[in-house]
Amino acid sequence: MTDAEELSSRTREFLAAHPPASTDRLDFLRARFDAGLAWVHYPEGLGGLGAPRSLQAVVDAELEAAGAPDNEPRRNGIGLGMAAPTILKYGTDEQKQRFLKPLWTGEEVWCQLFSEPGAGSDLAALGTRAVREGDEWVVNGQKVWTSGAHNARWAILIARTDPSLPKHAGITYFACDMTDPGVDVRPLRQITGEAEFNEVFLTDVRIPDTDRLGEVGDGWRVAQTTLNNERVAIGGMALPREGGMIGKVAKTWRERPDLRTHDLHQRLLTLWVEAEVARLTGERLRQQLVAGQPGPEGAGMKLGFARLNQVISGLEVELLGEEGLLYEDWTMRRPELVDFTGRDAGYRYLRSKGNSIEGGTSEVLLNIVAERVLGLPAEPRTDKDVAWKDLAR
Q: Which residue numbers are catalytic? A: 230
CA 127, CA 109: separation in Å to the nearest integer?
A: 25
66 contacts 14 by C-beta, under 8 angstroms: no
Listed in order, strand segments (DSSP E) in the chain are 110-113, 129-133, 136-144, 154-160, 171-177, 183-188, 197-208, 212-213
CA 141, CA 118: separation in Å to the nearest integer?
A: 10
Residue partners of 170: CB distance under 8 A and separation at least 6:
160, 161, 162, 163, 164, 217, 388
DSSP string, 248-301: HHHHHHHH-GGG--HHHHHHHHHHHHHHHHHHHHHHHHHHHHTTS---THHHHH
**121: number of Cβ within 10 Å:** 14
What is the DSSP pairing of strand 154-160 with strand 110-113?
parallel
Backbone Cα Rg of the chain: 22
Cα–Cα separations (whole angstroms), residue 236 to 29, 121, 249, 278:
25, 22, 20, 8
